[in-house]
């Protein structure tokens, strides 16, 4: 079974992202707007249990935090993805690094981890540049409180749903 780990921003961010995703993201119907902490992969039952223990440990040591989305950016030319970018990605990067250690360590990543909320993907180059140009001049300012991590699984129909959620319980001085 495919599993992945993500955090979901607050409703205001999801609503704004979905207003673009409905037309520009073929994954719109499969998963709400989110920030991926660990890419999806097939896990055995043993790997799933190890993942749950790792996420529980990290959540117990990580305090809830705020993030601010302040602009639209793109991964072009590497990938035709348009996304809401974070003003300060450090808290999400630290959470990603803590999650992706121990039994969830990633041997070799194909890219530098960049936390974001996708608003468009698999677009043509022209469509990407047109939409990026329009959104680049827009005022983007969304703040979201992050207080939990979600272990997700993919259903037989291709949708992603929560397998288990983990409340961030650390104090502000214990963030990894």
Q: Give which of 43, 37, 42 is closest to 97, Cα–Cα.
A: 37
The gap between the terminal CA atoms of the chain, to the nearest Å, is 29
Q: Is the peptide bond before 77 cis (omega within 30 degrees of 0)?
A: yes
What local confidence, expressed as pLDDT, does residue 109 receive?
A: 77
So which residues are the catalytic ones? Answer: 34, 116
- The predicted pLDDT at position 97 comes to 96
Q: How far apart are CA 36 and CA 117, in angstroms?
A: 8
Residue ranges of domains in the chain, CATH in brackets: 2-174 (3.90.1140.10)
pLDDT of the chain, 176 residues: tens digit per residue: 999 999 999 999 999 999 999 999 999 999 999 999 999 999 999 999 999 999 999 999 999 999 999 999 999 999 999 999 999 999 999 999 999 999 999 877 788 899 999 999 999 999 999 999 989 888 899 999 999 999 999 999 999 999 999 999 988 765 55
pLDDT for 106 equals: 86
CA distance 92 to 95: 5
State the pLDDT at residue 175: 55
C-alpha closest to that of 148 among 126, 165, 170, 171: 165
Contacts of 139 (CB under 8 A, 6+ apart): none
Q: What is the DSSP string of the chain?
A: -EEEEEE---HHHHHHHHHHHHHH-TTTTTS-S-EEEEEEEE--HHHHHHHHHHHHHHHHH---EEEEEEEEEE-TTT--EEEEEES--HHHHHHHHHHTSGGG--S--SS----EEEEEES--HHHHHHHHHHHHTS---EEEEE-EEEEEEE-TTS-EEEEEEEE----GGG--
């Amino acid at each position: 079974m495919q599993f992945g780990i993500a955090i979901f921003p607050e409703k205001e961010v999801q609503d704004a992202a979905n207003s673009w995703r409905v037309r520009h993201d073929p994954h719109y119907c499969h998963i709400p707007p989110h920030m991926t902490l660990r890419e999806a992969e097939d896990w055995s039952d043993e790997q799933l249990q190890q993942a749950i223990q790792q996420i529980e440990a990290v959540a117990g040591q990580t305090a809830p935090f705020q993030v601010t989305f302040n602009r639209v950016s793109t991964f072009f030319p590497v990938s035709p993805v348009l996304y809401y970018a974070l003003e300060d990605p450090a808290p999400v990067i630290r959470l990603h690094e803590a999650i992706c250690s121990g039994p969830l360590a990633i041997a070799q990543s194909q890219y530098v981890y960049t936390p974001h909320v996708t608003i468009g993907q698999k677009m043509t180059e022209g469509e990407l540049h047109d939409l990026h140009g329009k959104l680049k001049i827009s005022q983007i300012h969304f703040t979201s409180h992050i207080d939990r991590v979600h272990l997700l699984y993919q259903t037989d129909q291709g949708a992603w749903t929560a397998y288990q959620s983990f409340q961030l319980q650390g104090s502000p001085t214990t963030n990894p």
